[in-house]
Amino acid sequence: MLVDPITVAANSPSPALTFAVVAYTGEGSERKDVTNNYGLRFSHSTNAKSGERHYMQLTQTLTATNPLTGGNSVQTASVSLSVSIPSFGWTAATKAALVQALLDTLNDSDVTIAKLIGFQS
């Protein structure tokens, strides 16, 4: 079980975030940072044939002006991480190393978040 609340230090341009539990589901939790309108969701599942799946999603909700109509509406953006591991062959350490390799690749200067959201592949 993760701590409640989860506190994340500010790292420009991201603000400091405090995610408090708003719901526990059978295999995960939903958390909110009401100050900055962020949400955080975790879910986990296992299957004897297909292995295990771990999912983490971060959302941000804001009121935005539609450039076509000039009206305001609530909009939500999200980013997620999904980890699927076969039922055998990976240890806890090799699972963690696989996720870390993805994060390291995303942070590498050849890839970067800016290039990802800039449609480069």
Fold entry, domain 6-86: MS2 Viral Coat Protein (3.30.380)
Domain ranges of the chain: 6-86, 90-121
For the cut 90, the answer to whether the pLDDT of residue 29 exceeds it is yes
* Helix extents (H) in 1-121: 92-107, 113-117
For the cut 90, the answer to whether the pLDDT of residue 15 exceeds it is yes
Average pLDDT over residues 42-69: 95
Per-residue pLDDT of 60-104, as tens digits, reads 999 999 999 999 999 999 999 999 999 999 999 999 999 999 999
In 3-state terms, what secondary structure has residue 2?
A: coil
* Mean pLDDT, the chain, whole residue set: 95
Average pLDDT over residues 54-64: 97
CB 39 within 8 A of CB 58: yes
Query: What confidence score (pLDDT) does residue 44 get?
Result: 96
Average pLDDT over residues 106-116: 94
Q: 31 — phi, psi (to 5°)?
A: -130, 155
Give the global pTM: 0.89
